[in-house]
Amino acid sequence: MWRHIASNALTFLVVAVFLFGGVLIWAQNEYSAEGPLDQPICLQVQRGTNMTRVSEDLADVGAISSPVMFRLGADYTDKTQSLKAGSYLVPEGASMSQIVDIVTRGGASTCGTEVVYRVGVTRATVQVRELDPSSGRYQEIVAFNPAEADVPAAYTEVKAAQDTRYRVALAEGVTSWQVVEELSQIDVLEGDVPDLPVEGSLAPDSYEIVPGDTRQSVVDRMQRAQEVILAAAWDGRAAGLPLDSPEEALILASIIEKETGGAEERPQVASVFVNRLNRGMRLQTDPTVIYGITKGEGVLGRGLRQSELRRETPWNTYVINGLPPTPIANPGRASIEAALNPDRTEYIYFVAKTLDPADGHNFAVSLDEHNRNVAAYRRLEAERDN
Protein backbone atom coordinates (compact mmCIF):
# COMPACT_ATOMS: atom_id res chain seq x y z
CA MET A 1 0.00 0.00 0.00
CA TRP A 2 2.79 2.40 0.89
CA ARG A 3 4.42 1.65 -2.41
CA HIS A 4 1.14 2.56 -4.16
CA ILE A 5 0.86 5.81 -2.19
CA ALA A 6 4.47 6.71 -2.99
CA SER A 7 3.88 6.00 -6.65
CA ASN A 8 0.79 8.24 -6.72
CA ALA A 9 2.65 10.99 -4.87
CA LEU A 10 5.50 10.87 -7.36
CA THR A 11 3.03 10.98 -10.22
CA PHE A 12 1.30 13.99 -8.66
CA LEU A 13 4.63 15.75 -8.15
CA VAL A 14 5.64 15.18 -11.76
CA VAL A 15 2.26 16.48 -12.96
CA ALA A 16 2.54 19.50 -10.64
CA VAL A 17 6.02 20.32 -11.97
CA PHE A 18 4.81 20.11 -15.55
CA LEU A 19 1.77 22.26 -14.72
CA PHE A 20 3.95 24.83 -12.99
CA GLY A 21 6.32 24.87 -15.93
CA GLY A 22 3.42 25.29 -18.30
CA VAL A 23 2.01 28.16 -16.26
CA LEU A 24 5.45 29.79 -16.15
CA ILE A 25 5.87 29.51 -19.92
CA TRP A 26 2.35 30.87 -20.44
CA ALA A 27 3.05 33.80 -18.09
CA GLN A 28 6.30 34.60 -19.88
CA ASN A 29 4.54 34.52 -23.24
CA GLU A 30 1.76 36.79 -21.96
CA TYR A 31 4.30 39.20 -20.48
CA SER A 32 6.09 39.47 -23.84
CA ALA A 33 3.02 39.27 -26.11
CA GLU A 34 1.51 42.22 -27.95
CA GLY A 35 -0.58 44.31 -25.59
CA PRO A 36 -4.21 45.49 -25.92
CA LEU A 37 -3.37 49.19 -26.47
CA ASP A 38 -5.03 50.26 -29.74
CA GLN A 39 -3.35 53.68 -29.97
CA PRO A 40 -0.26 55.31 -28.43
CA ILE A 41 -0.58 57.00 -25.05
CA CYS A 42 1.51 59.37 -22.99
CA LEU A 43 2.11 57.75 -19.60
CA GLN A 44 3.06 60.06 -16.73
CA VAL A 45 5.08 58.51 -13.93
CA GLN A 46 5.05 60.89 -10.96
CA ARG A 47 7.97 61.26 -8.59
CA GLY A 48 7.65 59.01 -5.55
CA THR A 49 5.20 56.61 -7.19
CA ASN A 50 5.69 52.83 -7.36
CA MET A 51 5.18 49.96 -9.79
CA THR A 52 1.81 49.07 -8.23
CA ARG A 53 0.42 52.51 -9.01
CA VAL A 54 1.88 52.45 -12.51
CA SER A 55 0.35 49.03 -13.21
CA GLU A 56 -3.07 50.26 -12.07
CA ASP A 57 -2.81 53.38 -14.25
CA LEU A 58 -1.91 51.23 -17.23
CA ALA A 59 -4.81 48.88 -16.58
CA ASP A 60 -7.23 51.83 -16.28
CA VAL A 61 -6.34 53.04 -19.79
CA GLY A 62 -6.41 49.51 -21.25
CA ALA A 63 -2.67 49.28 -21.90
CA ILE A 64 -2.16 45.97 -20.05
CA SER A 65 -4.37 42.95 -19.40
CA SER A 66 -3.11 42.10 -15.90
CA PRO A 67 -1.63 44.49 -13.32
CA VAL A 68 -0.51 41.51 -11.23
CA MET A 69 1.38 39.92 -14.13
CA PHE A 70 2.91 43.31 -14.96
CA ARG A 71 4.27 43.63 -11.41
CA LEU A 72 5.44 40.01 -11.26
CA GLY A 73 7.26 40.47 -14.57
CA ALA A 74 8.96 43.63 -13.30
CA ASP A 75 9.98 41.75 -10.10
CA TYR A 76 11.20 38.72 -12.06
CA THR A 77 13.45 40.92 -14.23
CA ASP A 78 14.71 42.94 -11.21
CA LYS A 79 13.31 46.22 -12.57
CA THR A 80 10.78 47.12 -9.89
CA GLN A 81 13.21 49.39 -8.06
CA SER A 82 14.39 51.04 -11.29
CA LEU A 83 11.20 53.01 -11.97
CA LYS A 84 11.98 56.49 -13.32
CA ALA A 85 9.73 59.55 -13.07
CA GLY A 86 8.83 61.22 -16.36
CA SER A 87 6.44 61.26 -19.30
CA TYR A 88 6.78 58.32 -21.66
CA LEU A 89 5.33 57.52 -25.05
CA VAL A 90 3.87 54.00 -24.95
CA PRO A 91 3.34 52.77 -28.52
CA GLU A 92 0.32 50.94 -29.84
CA GLY A 93 0.38 47.22 -28.98
CA ALA A 94 3.30 47.54 -26.56
CA SER A 95 3.86 44.41 -24.49
CA MET A 96 4.14 44.48 -20.72
CA SER A 97 7.83 43.72 -21.10
CA GLN A 98 8.30 46.71 -23.42
CA ILE A 99 6.40 49.04 -21.09
CA VAL A 100 8.47 47.98 -18.08
CA ASP A 101 11.59 48.71 -20.13
CA ILE A 102 10.25 52.14 -21.15
CA VAL A 103 9.51 53.29 -17.59
CA THR A 104 12.75 51.95 -16.09
CA ARG A 105 15.23 52.82 -18.83
CA GLY A 106 15.76 56.40 -17.67
CA GLY A 107 17.02 59.27 -19.79
CA ALA A 108 14.90 62.02 -21.29
CA SER A 109 11.13 61.81 -21.26
CA THR A 110 9.66 60.93 -24.62
CA CYS A 111 6.33 62.74 -24.58
CA GLY A 112 4.27 65.25 -22.68
CA THR A 113 4.81 69.00 -22.50
CA GLU A 114 8.05 70.72 -23.38
CA VAL A 115 9.34 74.27 -23.54
CA VAL A 116 11.68 75.10 -26.41
CA TYR A 117 13.77 78.25 -26.22
CA ARG A 118 14.55 78.97 -29.88
CA VAL A 119 17.50 81.23 -30.64
CA GLY A 120 17.01 82.44 -34.22
CA VAL A 121 19.06 84.66 -36.48
CA THR A 122 16.49 87.47 -36.46
CA ARG A 123 14.49 86.78 -33.31
CA ALA A 124 14.13 84.54 -30.27
CA THR A 125 10.98 82.60 -29.43
CA VAL A 126 9.75 80.64 -26.44
CA GLN A 127 7.51 77.80 -27.60
CA VAL A 128 5.34 75.64 -25.35
CA ARG A 129 4.16 72.48 -27.08
CA GLU A 130 2.78 69.05 -26.30
CA LEU A 131 3.18 65.71 -28.05
CA ASP A 132 0.02 64.19 -29.49
CA PRO A 133 0.62 60.45 -28.98
CA SER A 134 -1.81 59.43 -31.72
CA SER A 135 -0.01 61.38 -34.44
CA GLY A 136 3.48 61.51 -32.96
CA ARG A 137 3.52 65.25 -33.68
CA TYR A 138 3.92 68.16 -31.32
CA GLN A 139 1.03 70.59 -31.02
CA GLU A 140 1.88 74.17 -30.16
CA ILE A 141 0.16 75.52 -27.06
CA VAL A 142 1.65 79.01 -27.09
CA ALA A 143 4.64 80.83 -28.55
CA PHE A 144 5.95 84.27 -27.67
CA ASN A 145 8.94 86.54 -27.98
CA PRO A 146 10.13 87.24 -24.42
CA ALA A 147 11.42 90.65 -25.49
CA GLU A 148 8.11 91.75 -27.01
CA ALA A 149 5.32 90.14 -24.99
CA ASP A 150 4.18 89.48 -21.46
CA VAL A 151 4.73 85.95 -20.21
CA PRO A 152 1.59 83.93 -21.06
CA ALA A 153 -0.17 82.04 -18.28
CA ALA A 154 0.34 78.76 -20.15
CA TYR A 155 4.11 79.14 -19.81
CA THR A 156 3.85 79.77 -16.07
CA GLU A 157 1.59 76.73 -15.66
CA VAL A 158 3.84 74.26 -17.47
CA LYS A 159 6.86 75.52 -15.53
CA ALA A 160 5.08 74.54 -12.32
CA ALA A 161 4.61 70.96 -13.54
CA GLN A 162 7.25 68.43 -12.49
CA ASP A 163 7.40 66.54 -15.77
CA THR A 164 7.86 69.51 -18.14
CA ARG A 165 10.93 69.17 -20.36
CA TYR A 166 13.12 72.05 -21.56
CA ARG A 167 15.32 72.50 -24.61
CA VAL A 168 17.46 75.24 -26.12
CA ALA A 169 17.46 75.16 -29.93
CA LEU A 170 20.08 77.16 -31.84
CA ALA A 171 19.44 78.05 -35.46
CA GLU A 172 22.31 77.75 -37.91
CA GLY A 173 24.00 81.10 -38.41
CA VAL A 174 23.35 82.70 -35.02
CA THR A 175 26.22 84.61 -33.46
CA SER A 176 27.80 83.90 -30.10
CA TRP A 177 26.58 87.25 -28.80
CA GLN A 178 23.00 86.33 -29.71
CA VAL A 179 23.31 82.97 -27.95
CA VAL A 180 24.62 84.48 -24.71
CA GLU A 181 21.98 87.23 -24.79
CA GLU A 182 19.15 84.73 -25.16
CA LEU A 183 20.55 82.31 -22.59
CA SER A 184 20.50 85.20 -20.10
CA GLN A 185 16.71 85.47 -20.64
CA ILE A 186 15.97 81.79 -19.91
CA ASP A 187 14.64 81.82 -16.37
CA VAL A 188 15.17 78.13 -15.62
CA LEU A 189 18.94 78.54 -16.03
CA GLU A 190 21.31 79.97 -13.45
CA GLY A 191 24.57 81.93 -13.39
CA ASP A 192 26.33 84.04 -16.00
CA VAL A 193 28.57 83.47 -19.00
CA PRO A 194 31.55 85.62 -18.00
CA ASP A 195 33.39 85.44 -21.33
CA LEU A 196 31.78 85.65 -24.76
CA PRO A 197 32.41 82.35 -26.58
CA VAL A 198 34.67 82.56 -29.59
CA GLU A 199 32.61 83.19 -32.71
CA GLY A 200 31.85 79.94 -34.53
CA SER A 201 32.60 77.73 -31.53
CA LEU A 202 28.95 76.86 -30.71
CA ALA A 203 27.22 74.02 -32.55
CA PRO A 204 23.70 74.88 -33.76
CA ASP A 205 21.53 72.06 -32.43
CA SER A 206 18.89 71.24 -29.83
CA TYR A 207 20.08 70.83 -26.25
CA GLU A 208 18.08 69.29 -23.41
CA ILE A 209 18.34 71.34 -20.23
CA VAL A 210 16.92 70.97 -16.73
CA PRO A 211 16.00 73.72 -14.27
CA GLY A 212 19.07 74.69 -12.28
CA ASP A 213 21.57 74.08 -15.08
CA THR A 214 24.09 76.90 -15.37
CA ARG A 215 24.29 78.98 -18.51
CA GLN A 216 28.03 78.33 -18.71
CA SER A 217 27.45 74.56 -18.63
CA VAL A 218 25.10 74.86 -21.61
CA VAL A 219 27.70 76.91 -23.51
CA ASP A 220 30.33 74.29 -22.64
CA ARG A 221 28.15 71.56 -24.17
CA MET A 222 27.67 73.60 -27.33
CA GLN A 223 31.41 74.12 -27.65
CA ARG A 224 32.24 70.46 -27.11
CA ALA A 225 29.71 69.49 -29.77
CA GLN A 226 31.25 71.92 -32.29
CA GLU A 227 34.74 70.62 -31.54
CA VAL A 228 33.64 67.07 -32.33
CA ILE A 229 31.90 68.10 -35.57
CA LEU A 230 34.84 70.19 -36.77
CA ALA A 231 37.44 67.54 -35.91
CA ALA A 232 35.55 64.83 -37.79
CA ALA A 233 35.03 67.04 -40.84
CA TRP A 234 38.68 68.13 -40.85
CA ASP A 235 39.85 64.51 -40.73
CA GLY A 236 37.65 63.72 -43.74
CA ARG A 237 38.50 66.84 -45.75
CA ALA A 238 39.14 66.82 -49.48
CA ALA A 239 42.68 67.16 -50.75
CA GLY A 240 44.07 70.42 -52.11
CA LEU A 241 41.92 72.88 -50.15
CA PRO A 242 43.30 76.40 -49.59
CA LEU A 243 42.74 76.00 -45.84
CA ASP A 244 45.62 75.60 -43.41
CA SER A 245 43.75 74.76 -40.22
CA PRO A 246 40.39 73.72 -38.76
CA GLU A 247 39.98 77.32 -37.63
CA GLU A 248 40.18 78.55 -41.24
CA ALA A 249 37.65 75.88 -42.22
CA LEU A 250 35.30 77.22 -39.54
CA ILE A 251 35.68 80.76 -40.90
CA LEU A 252 34.82 79.61 -44.42
CA ALA A 253 31.90 77.51 -43.11
CA SER A 254 30.43 80.54 -41.36
CA ILE A 255 30.49 82.52 -44.61
CA ILE A 256 28.80 79.66 -46.47
CA GLU A 257 26.20 79.51 -43.68
CA LYS A 258 25.31 83.17 -44.06
CA GLU A 259 25.23 83.06 -47.87
CA THR A 260 22.70 80.26 -48.31
CA GLY A 261 20.05 78.45 -46.32
CA GLY A 262 19.67 75.70 -48.92
CA ALA A 263 21.37 72.47 -47.87
CA GLU A 264 21.73 71.31 -51.48
CA GLU A 265 23.49 74.56 -52.44
CA ARG A 266 26.11 74.67 -49.74
CA PRO A 267 28.70 72.53 -51.58
CA GLN A 268 28.28 74.72 -54.68
CA VAL A 269 28.62 77.95 -52.72
CA ALA A 270 31.66 76.45 -51.01
CA SER A 271 33.17 75.68 -54.42
CA VAL A 272 32.88 79.34 -55.43
CA PHE A 273 34.82 80.53 -52.39
CA VAL A 274 37.41 77.76 -52.68
CA ASN A 275 37.93 78.61 -56.36
CA ARG A 276 38.34 82.28 -55.49
CA LEU A 277 40.84 81.52 -52.74
CA ASN A 278 42.81 79.26 -55.08
CA ARG A 279 42.94 82.02 -57.72
CA GLY A 280 43.87 84.76 -55.29
CA MET A 281 40.55 86.55 -55.83
CA ARG A 282 38.81 88.42 -53.05
CA LEU A 283 35.74 86.68 -51.64
CA GLN A 284 33.53 89.78 -51.95
CA THR A 285 30.67 88.55 -49.81
CA ASP A 286 28.15 90.89 -48.13
CA PRO A 287 27.71 88.95 -44.85
CA THR A 288 31.34 89.60 -43.94
CA VAL A 289 30.82 93.33 -44.46
CA ILE A 290 27.75 93.22 -42.23
CA TYR A 291 29.70 91.43 -39.49
CA GLY A 292 32.34 94.16 -39.64
CA ILE A 293 29.59 96.66 -38.87
CA THR A 294 27.59 94.79 -36.22
CA LYS A 295 30.32 92.53 -34.74
CA GLY A 296 27.53 89.97 -34.48
CA GLU A 297 25.58 92.06 -31.98
CA GLY A 298 22.12 91.97 -33.50
CA VAL A 299 20.85 92.31 -37.06
CA LEU A 300 21.76 95.18 -39.39
CA GLY A 301 18.14 95.50 -40.49
CA ARG A 302 18.83 97.37 -43.75
CA GLY A 303 20.74 97.10 -46.97
CA LEU A 304 24.45 97.82 -47.21
CA ARG A 305 25.59 101.25 -48.35
CA GLN A 306 28.27 101.72 -50.99
CA SER A 307 30.41 103.52 -48.44
CA GLU A 308 30.23 100.44 -46.18
CA LEU A 309 31.28 98.16 -49.03
CA ARG A 310 34.37 100.35 -49.50
CA ARG A 311 35.15 100.82 -45.80
CA GLU A 312 38.08 98.76 -44.59
CA THR A 313 37.40 96.49 -41.63
CA PRO A 314 39.12 93.20 -40.76
CA TRP A 315 36.02 91.40 -42.09
CA ASN A 316 35.29 93.34 -45.29
CA THR A 317 36.16 90.80 -47.99
CA TYR A 318 35.60 93.41 -50.69
CA VAL A 319 38.72 95.14 -49.33
CA ILE A 320 40.87 92.44 -47.66
CA ASN A 321 42.49 89.45 -49.32
CA GLY A 322 41.65 85.92 -48.25
CA LEU A 323 39.58 84.98 -45.25
CA PRO A 324 38.55 87.36 -42.46
CA PRO A 325 40.25 86.83 -39.07
CA THR A 326 37.30 85.10 -37.37
CA PRO A 327 34.07 83.33 -38.24
CA ILE A 328 31.08 85.61 -38.73
CA ALA A 329 28.52 83.27 -37.13
CA ASN A 330 28.16 79.77 -35.73
CA PRO A 331 27.91 77.43 -38.72
CA GLY A 332 26.04 74.15 -38.66
CA ARG A 333 27.38 70.72 -39.52
CA ALA A 334 26.27 70.90 -43.18
CA SER A 335 28.18 74.13 -43.82
CA ILE A 336 31.30 72.80 -42.09
CA GLU A 337 31.17 69.65 -44.20
CA ALA A 338 30.58 71.70 -47.36
CA ALA A 339 33.61 73.88 -46.61
CA LEU A 340 35.80 70.82 -46.29
CA ASN A 341 34.23 68.80 -49.12
CA PRO A 342 33.02 71.34 -51.69
CA ASP A 343 31.69 70.43 -55.11
CA ARG A 344 34.30 70.40 -57.85
CA THR A 345 33.17 73.22 -60.15
CA GLU A 346 34.62 76.09 -62.14
CA TYR A 347 32.15 78.57 -60.62
CA ILE A 348 33.55 81.83 -59.29
CA TYR A 349 30.33 83.90 -59.19
CA PHE A 350 26.79 83.51 -57.86
CA VAL A 351 23.75 85.71 -57.37
CA ALA A 352 20.22 85.07 -56.08
CA LYS A 353 17.78 83.64 -58.63
CA THR A 354 14.77 85.52 -57.29
CA LEU A 355 13.81 87.86 -54.47
CA ASP A 356 12.96 84.81 -52.36
CA PRO A 357 16.17 83.46 -50.76
CA ALA A 358 14.63 79.99 -50.68
CA ASP A 359 14.88 79.83 -54.48
CA GLY A 360 18.65 79.63 -54.36
CA HIS A 361 21.29 81.10 -56.65
CA ASN A 362 22.45 81.23 -60.25
CA PHE A 363 26.11 80.25 -60.56
CA ALA A 364 28.50 81.40 -63.26
CA VAL A 365 31.98 80.67 -64.53
CA SER A 366 32.54 83.90 -66.51
CA LEU A 367 31.99 87.52 -65.60
CA ASP A 368 29.77 88.02 -68.67
CA GLU A 369 27.48 85.21 -67.58
CA HIS A 370 27.42 86.57 -64.03
CA ASN A 371 26.55 90.06 -65.26
CA ARG A 372 23.58 88.64 -67.15
CA ASN A 373 22.42 86.88 -63.98
CA VAL A 374 22.81 90.09 -62.00
CA ALA A 375 20.85 92.05 -64.61
CA ALA A 376 18.01 89.53 -64.38
CA TYR A 377 17.97 89.91 -60.60
CA ARG A 378 17.95 93.73 -60.87
CA ARG A 379 14.91 93.54 -63.17
CA LEU A 380 13.08 91.56 -60.49
CA GLU A 381 13.96 94.22 -57.94
CA ALA A 382 12.70 96.97 -60.27
CA GLU A 383 9.41 95.13 -60.84
CA ARG A 384 8.95 94.78 -57.10
CA ASP A 385 9.58 98.46 -56.46
CA ASN A 386 7.23 99.70 -59.20
Summarised one tens digit per residue, pLDDT across range 262-282 is: 888 999 999 999 999 999 999
8 A C-beta contact, residue 226 and residue 335: no
CA-closest candidate to residue 299, choices 203, 175, 204: 175
| 3-state secondary structure (DSSP) of residue 137 | strand
Please give the C-alpha separations between residue 198 and each of 176, 207, 211, 251, 364, in angstroms, as whole numbers: 7, 19, 26, 11, 34
- Predicted local distance difference test score (pLDDT) of residue 56: 86
| 3-state secondary structure (DSSP) of residue 366 | coil
- Predicted local distance difference test score (pLDDT) of residue 81: 86
Residues of the chain with pLDDT under 70: 1-24, 26-27, 106-110, 149
C-alpha 249/C-alpha 291 separation (Å) is 18
List the domain boundaries for the chain.
28-104, 113-230, 237-347
Long-range contacts from 98-106, C-beta under 8 angstroms, 24+ separation: 98/35, 99/35, 99/43, 99/58, 99/63, 99/64, 99/70, 100/70, 100/73, 100/74, 102/43, 103/43, 103/45, 103/54, 104/74, 104/79, 106/82
- Predicted local distance difference test score (pLDDT) of residue 6: 47
Which residues fall within 8 angstroms of residue 368, CB to CB, at 6 or more apart? Answer: none
CA-closest candidate to residue 49, choices 77, 80, 78, 91: 80
Q: In DSSP terms, which residues pair with 361 in a beta bridge?
A: 352
C-alpha 227/C-alpha 192 separation (Å) is 22
Q: Which CATH number is 28-104 given?
A: 3.30.1490.480
8 A C-beta contact, residue 333 and residue 203: yes
- Predicted local distance difference test score (pLDDT) of residue 146: 79
- Predicted local distance difference test score (pLDDT) of residue 151: 85
- End-to-end CA separation in angstroms for the chain: 116
C-alpha 86/C-alpha 45 separation (Å) is 5
Summarised one tens digit per residue, pLDDT across range 191-241 is: 999 999 999 999 999 998 989 999 999 999 999 999 999 999 999 999 999
